[in-house]
Amino acid sequence: MKDQIDAKDQMILEILQEDSRISVKEIGERIGLSFTPTYERIKNLENNNVIKKYVALVDRLKIGIELVAYCNITLKEQSRNALLEFEKLVNEIPQVQEVISLSGNYDYMLKIIAEDIKSYNEFVVNVISNIPNMGLYHSSIVLNEVKKETAYFIPKQD
């Protein structure tokens, strides 16, 4: 799909990553196309799963989420079935926002949210430490989000 994304598609993606509520008409005006070809390009990007979904970005502090932690996990067993079972289990936990498979010293890194340090500690003790096949886990608490970006930088096509 990368080869099929041209400069106009790149502009559309940049605009939508900045503001997904912008009208197709305004996107077309910004990129120099009329409504119909702009709409067709957006639909094509959606149909090819380049655009996966549209979301509202919420200020976590305003909804009571004061703590973000990254928890590095090492499993006792790394067989394919053990890894898949772990992934299935952690994907069902609402406090886990991201699950990333790693190379190196750890098998996974989880991004976990909690109301505060007390609730995070309870979560680790009652949920994380009780996951079957759990070996070691190491938490790093986020002190400050210096840069937090949701938009992907899109390399320019030749």
Q: What residue spans define the domains of the chain?
A: 2-47, 60-141
The pLDDT, as a whole number, for residue 94 is 97
pLDDT 10s digits, 52-84? 999 999 999 999 999 999 999 999 999 999 999
What CATH architecture is 2-47?
Answer: Orthogonal Bundle (1.10)
The pLDDT, as a whole number, for residue 11 is 95
- Reported as a pLDDT band with limits 50, 70 and 90, residue 27 is very high
Fold matches, 2-47 and 60-141: no
List the structure tokens of 94.
């609402």
- Reported as a pLDDT band with limits 50, 70 and 90, residue 28 is very high
Number of other residues whose CB lies within 10 A of the CB of residue 79: 10
CATH topology of domain 60-141: Alpha-Beta Plaits (3.30.70)
**What is the arithmetic mean of pLDDT over 128-136?**
95
Contacts of 32 (CB under 8 A, 6+ apart): 8
Q: Evaluate if residue 105 carries a pLDDT over 60.
A: yes
Q: What is the β-pairing status of strands 67-75 and 96-101?
A: unpaired
**What is the arithmetic mean of pLDDT over 36-44?**
97
pTM: 0.85
pLDDT 10s digits, 110-130? 999 999 999 999 999 999 999
